[in-house]
Structure 1
Amino acid sequence: MSAQLDLIEVKRVKALRRDLLHWFKEGRRHLPWRSVGASNFELICVEVLLQQTSAARVASIYRKFFTKYPNWESIDSAPIEKLTDEVSKLGLQNRRIERLKALAKLAVRCSGTFPVERKELEACSGIGQYLASAIRLFQHQIPEALIDLNFVRLLDRYLGYMCNSDYRYDERLQTASNLLINGGDAVATNWAVFDFASGICRAQDPKCGMCPASSRCRYSARVGGIVLD
C-alpha cells in the first residue's frame, strides 16, 4: 500500500509541478527525440540509451542510430557487434545492447505492443521499474514518473525527505513522484524534472537563486538558514 502525503505536502507538490512546467517553457533542452514526430519506439529506446550517460552524448548519435534502426524488428535482427559499434560512444555497451535486444525480442513477439500491466512488464528480461514506467508512459499514455537519481534528488531536496538507499522501495517518495506527474502533461513534467535537475537543481553547486520553487524548498531554506512551516 502506498504511503500517504499530508495536505501540506500535496499542495507543495502541486505547486512544484506548476513551477516546473512554467520554467520548462523557456528552460527546456531541445533534444531530437522530443520532436513531434518521434515514435514511442524511439522514446523507449532513448531511455535505454540515456542510462548512465548524458543527453548530449545520446543526441550526438540519435539521427544515425534511428536511421539505421528504424523499428524493433531491425534491432532484433541486427548483429550484436554492429549495435555495439553504434552505441560505443555512450559507454556500458554490453548492458545497453542486452536491454535493447531484450526489448526488441519482446516487441516482435507482441507485434510491437508491449504488455500494459507493470507486473507483467517487470517479469520480462531486461525490464525493471524504470523501463516499465517508460513503456507505460510513452506507448500506453499512462501517467508514470520516470524516477531516476535526478528525479529523486529534486524531490528529496524540495520536500526535505531522507530517501531510502533504494528509492524504488521508498513508498513516500514514490507517492510524491506520482502526484507530481499526475494532473498535467505527464511527458512534459518528466522532461521538466530532468532538465531542471540537470541545469538548476544540480548534484553539485545547485543554483538555488534561480529556482522558482526556492521559497518552498526545504533544502534551500536549510542552506539559507530559514525555517519553513
Structure 2
Amino acid sequence: MQTAESLAAQLLSWYDRHARIMPWRVSPRDRAAGQRPDPYRVWLSEVMLQQTTVAAVTDYFHRFISRWPTVHDLAAAEDAQVMGEWAGLGYYARARNLLKCARAVVTSHGGRFPTSREGLLTLPGIGPYTASAIAAIAYDHPAAVVDGNVERVISRLYLVEKPLPAAKPKLTELAAGLTPASRPGDYAQAIMDLGATVCTPRAPACGICPWSHACEARAAGIQAALPRKAPKPDKPLRRGTLWLGHRDGAILIERRPDRGLLGGMAGFPGDGWDGQGGPAPADADWQDIGEVRHTFTHFHLILRVMTARIEGPPTRGELIPRHSFRPADLPTVMRKAWDLARALPDFP
C-alpha cells in the first residue's frame, strides 16, 4: 500500500482535471486563485444532499438560493414557505432544523458560521458528518468527511469486508488517516466525486480510477461486492385516512405538532396513521374519492381520501380561504391527496 500522502496527491491531481461542476462548489482552479467557498451555500447543500442525490438537489438549491440568498434571509423566512420549498426532499426534520440552524447562526453568531468543527457541532441539526464537511470544504480544515460514497471507496481501497453499518467506525478511521493537511477541502470533494463517478456501487470504472493500482478489493477481484451491507428489514405498510373538508371555497387545514412525522407542516386532518389525529374533523357527508400511496423512510403508506362540504364548525383544523391556501406548502403526501381531490368537478 502506498503512503497516505502519495494517495492524496494522486487523488487531488485527478480532481483538478475531473471535478464536477456544482452550483455550490468552488472549482479547484478558482480555489487555487483565492476564491473561498460561501459557508452558507456549503451548509445548505450538505443538508440537502443527506440521503439525496446531486441531480435531485440541484433545482431545490437554486430555488432556495434565489428566494433566500443569505443565511439572514433564510432565518427571516416563514416556516411554511421553507417547508413548502423543501417538499419532495423528504426527511422534514432536516427542514425544521435548517430554520433553527439559520436562526441560531444569525442570533448567536452574528450571521457567520463557526469556523471550527467543534463550533459547528453546537448548531441545531449539524451532526458529525455535516460539521466535518463544512469545516473542510468552507474553511479548509483537515476534517475527515465520510458519506456513502467515501465509505464505498475506503471499503474497497482497504478491503474492509465487515458489513455496514458496523464497519462505519473503521471506515471513518481509515478515511481520517488519508485526509491530507494540504488542500483538505478539495480532497474531501475529490473523494466524494471519485465515489460518485468512478467507484460506483455497480460496475466501478476501475480502468480510469487514480487509486486502482492501490485498491486491495480490485486485487482480490471483489470490488463490486463491497461495501457489504447487513440486510435491511422489509418496510411495514400502514393504512389511514385523510379528510379534505371545504366550505365556500375555504379548505380545512390542520397545523401539525412541531415534533413527529411531518412536524410543523400544514396538512389535512388524518386518523392516526402518523401518531397524530383522530376521528373525522366534522359531521358531514364524506365521500371516498380514492387512495394515494407514499413511501417514507421507515414505512409504506396507503391513505383513503375523503371529501365533503362542511356545514358546521370543524372539531379540528381551520378553514383557510382559497386565496390564502398554497398547495405548494404541503408535504408531498398531502399534495398527492390534494391533486386527487382537485380532479373532481365539484371540488373548489
TM-score interval (norm. to shorter): 0.7 to 0.9
* 1:212–1:118 Cα change, 3 Å: closer
Aligned to 2:174: 176
Task: Pick the structure with greater CA Rg.
Answer: 2
* 1:67-146 → structure 2 map (5 Å cutoff): 67-89=66-88, 91-92=89-90, 94-108=92-106, 109-116=108-115, 118-119=117-118, 121-146=120-145
2:201 is aligned with what amino acid?
A: A
More deviation in 131-140 or 190-199? Answer: 131-140
CA distance in 2, matches of 1:210, 1:147: 22
* 1:41-60 → structure 2 map (5 Å cutoff): 41-60=40-59
Aligned to 2:8: 17
2:22 is aligned with what amino acid?
A: L
Structure 1, unmatched stretches of 5+, are: 1-7
* 1:212–1:32 Cα change, 3 Å: same
Which structure has greater helix proportion?
A: 1
CA shift for structure 1 position 187? 1.3
Structure 2, unmatched stretches of 5+, are: 27-34, 224-348
Aligned to 2:319: none
CA distance in 2, matches of 1:72, 1:166: 34
1:24 is aligned with what amino acid?
A: Y
1:64 is aligned with what amino acid?
A: R
* 1:133–1:167 Cα change, 3 Å: farther
Q: Is the 8 A contact 1:84 1:93 kept in 2?
A: no
The alignment yields a C-alpha RMSD, in angstroms, of 2.6
Report SS of the residue matched to 1:32. coil
Q: Is the 8 A contact 1:29 1:195 kept in 2?
A: yes
Aligned to 2:210: 212
CA shift for structure 1 position 116? 5.0
Q: Does 1:161 align with 2:157?
A: no
Aligned length: 214
Aligned to 1:5: none
Could you tell me the TM-score, scaled by structure 1's length?
Answer: 0.81
Report SS of the residue matched to 2:221. helix
Could you tell me the TM-score, scaled by structure 2's length?
Answer: 0.55
Aligned to 2:19: 28
Which one of 211, 216, 222 corresponds to residue 220 of structure 2? 222
CA shift for structure 1 position 117? 5.3
Q: Is the 8 A contact 2:136 2:188 kept in 1?
A: no
* 1:119–1:63 Cα change, 3 Å: closer
Q: Is the 8 A contact 1:80 1:97 kept in 2?
A: no
Q: Deviations along 1:107-164, whole A, 9 cap, x unmatched? A: 0121123445545543543121112213323454322122111111101110112457
Which one of 193, 196, 199 corresponds to residue 197 of structure 2? 199
% same residue? 26
CA distance in 1, matches of 2:25, 2:62: 13
2:183 is aligned with what amino acid?
A: D
